[in-house]
Structure 1
Amino acid sequence: MLKINYLSDFLFFKKIMGVNGALIATMTQADEMKKYTDVIFNNIGKNYDLIHSHGCFPLTYHMMKKAAKLKKPILISAHQTHYDIDTLLFSKQISQLFKIFLRRYYKFADIIICPTEHSRRIVKNELRIDKPIKLISNGVNTQVFKHSIKKRIQFRKTHKLNNATVLCVGMPIERKGFYDFIKISKEMNEYPFLWVGKRAFPLIQRDHNYNVNNLIMPGYVKDIIAAYSGGDIFCFPSYYEGEGIAILEAMSCGLPVIIRDLPAYEGRLIDGENCLKARDNKEFIEKIYYLINHPEESKRIANNGINTAKKLDLKETVKSIYEIYLELI
């Protein structure tokens, strides 16, 4: 049986950085991959067949440099680009430095996995990486991410949710549209707005004061299925995503989703079919009201979202990745 060395800086800095999409993809794919291979994490030795990197920071860079000298095959899942940095102070300067670093990092790969066509274009055209690129979704475990009536009742009771609830899941940072979410909630103060997620790197992120009576922020929620089940509409105003794992999770849990109209979603998320798209806060507000006032439309979009999630099931993702492992060995 093959032994795969999964690399991720985020495993070491989970308490500081919180849970992000790259870490979720790493752990869920690794758990499913154990059906096909042995999986180890951040192993600095030589006893493995292939590296699959989900990180992009100095730790994984150093380990891949060592693996390249040993002539070990290297597969990289491209979770990050230089656009992920724009929430930090001095972001323009840091972004350019990160772009240079990423070029060096991705050049270690024998094959790169990108979750969407948009991320592929960034890696190929903006980072100028001339390596084989495979398009494979990060996937969502549709057997785990299911709506639970029992969890919904308990979650809503715990957080005193008595009306249609607008939910978002992610780090409360500018890139994720957190401050827009606050503004939207102020305009719709008759409804509760719930943001689930832990803030990371507080010292180097822009701070913001807010005082909104209908905004609930429980931080990190261990039972994320309960949070998805407790919401009624998933509003995701993020300004940049590689794929948007939280969107797939929300869809799988049966929530209708409203997203910002971004290139990353083209072809997969279709406005008026499996989601609604908005370009600014005004349109987000209009579409939230639309779903609240048109429950049949809300249900139709949610059902289409469930079907979309099933097509991007984690099992199919892992099968495709395993085929790449065999190709590289």
Structure 2
Amino acid sequence: MRVLDYLELDAQLDRAGIGTAHDQQVEALDRARAAGSDVDVVTSPWGDGGPRAAVRRGLAGRGVLADVDVIHLNLIGPASVALARYARLTDTPLVLHCHVTSEDFRESFRGSNAVAPALRRYLRWFYSQADLVLTPSEYTKRRLLEYPVDAPIRAISNGIDHGSVADHEAYREQYRERFDLDGVVMFAVGSVFERKGLTDFCEVAAMTEHDFAWFGTVDSGPQASPTVTRWTSDPPENVTFTGWVDDKPGAFGAGDVFFFPTKEENQGIVVLEAMACGKPCVLRDIPVFREYFEDGHDCLLCETREEFADALNRVADDPDLRERLGENARETAADHSLERVGEELVDTYEQLIEAR
């Protein structure tokens, strides 16, 4: 069984959650193959030799695109639309992975709220072409059913590549010194958006005496929202925006309590990464986190800035609470192994092929 697992604009998305999700899919399928599954994954639609060789094959009357049994697409742009049409023309099972919804597009870039309603209509059309839509959570599945998307939908966790953050402690002193961090540090990881809870992150920081650090890309071009520009150019004294860091484990090594007041997520790979590092997590109480995590067991869920500040202070002042939440978080992250993701993906592909 040969699968095209394709991410349009992969080079541009290597720092984004979609890029991480795609990389983890490929790794999960590689592990499934190593464990004995009959699956071979390719990430380019062009087959061997790239687009120039594909053109030569086409001129010679041979197939232009890679010969595959399943097409699995992870984005929604023109190349993905073309490949979805190709799947229909060749009767190849088509899987569309929902990493983008109109809800999580809001409060991301300048003008994103204005575009979101039109995006919802486009996504309803695009996802409805699939033989199967995969979502990272039951929450996102419910969202798509409300659009409504006219295709079967199945929820599969994005999983967590434990190896990607395994050596985080080795970076601790280097990164804390580099960014002048001290004490029990509250931290977030990922691109800086208002949708990720930027304003609450800063306002809560101003209510406490702890150091706060946000490790992630800060947009400075015309697409940057005024809110991002305002907070990152003049943050509270105890908040550091580091910008992009080359060593992701360094972010998880430097921080002590993962603080993520995001307003909307399809799952939140970064939370699983923090949990894999044994970090206690203080999160916003939103449905997708209720689906995967348990308040008071592997995280603390909060709704207001006052609740966030109180939770962060409690965790900072209580080493036993930090340790208990962190150890339970490790166990939660272990349930999202890439081995399990690979098994579920292979089973999904096999079912689609058998149904043909």
- TM-score after normalising by structure 1: 0.92
Q: Is the 8 A contact 1:164 1:232 kept in 2?
A: yes
Counting aligned pairs with the same residue, the percent is 26
1:194 and 2:216 matched: no
Q: Is the 8 A contact 1:170 1:196 kept in 2?
A: yes
For 2:315, the aligned partner's letter is: L
Q: Is the 8 A contact 2:258 2:274 kept in 1?
A: yes
Deviates more, 1:255-264 or 1:44-53: 44-53
SS in 2 for 1:272: coil
Q: Is the 8 A contact 1:10 1:23 kept in 2?
A: no
Q: What does the per-residue CA deviation read over 1:250-308, in whole Å, with 9 as the maximum and x for residues that have no partner?
A: 00011000100001112321111110011021111111001011110111011111000
Q: Counterparts of 1:28 and 1:267 in 2: how far apart (Å)? A: 21
Q: Is the 8 A contact 2:129 2:151 kept in 1?
A: no
The CA deviation at 1:192 is 1.5
Matches within 5 A, 1:35-184: 35=31, 36=33, 37-44=39-46, 45-87=65-107, 88-124=109-145, 126-146=146-166, 148-184=168-204
> Could you list the runs of 5+ residues in structure 1 that have no partner in the other structure?
none
SS in 2 for 1:289: helix
Q: CA RMSD in A?
A: 1.8
Q: Counterparts of 1:290 and 1:301 in 2: how far apart (Å)? A: 12
Q: Counterparts of 1:140 and 1:198 in 2: how far apart (Å)? A: 21
Deviates more, 1:102-111 or 1:90-99: 90-99
1:270 and 2:289 matched: no
SS in 1 for 2:291: coil
Q: Is the 8 A contact 1:5 1:41 kept in 2?
A: yes
SS in 2 for 1:326: helix
Q: When the two structures are aligned, how many residues end up with a matched partner?
A: 323
SS in 1 for 2:4: strand
The CA deviation at 1:146 is 3.0
Q: Residue 237 of structure 1: which of 226, 250, 261 is its match?
A: 261
Q: Is the 8 A contact 1:173 1:179 kept in 2?
A: no
For 2:346, the aligned partner's letter is: Y
1:22 and 2:43 matched: no
1:34 and 2:30 matched: yes
- TM-score after normalising by structure 2: 0.86
For 2:69, the aligned partner's letter is: D
Q: Counterparts of 2:343 and 2:165 in 1: how far apart (Å)? A: 19
SS in 2 for 1:160: coil
Q: What does the per-residue CA deviation read over 1:56-100, in whole Å, with 9 as the maximum and x for residues that have no partner?
A: 222212221222212111112211111122123343431111011
Q: Counterparts of 2:71 and 2:199 in 1: how far apart (Å)? A: 38
> Could you list the runs of 5+ residues in structure 2 that have no partner in the other structure?
34-38, 47-64
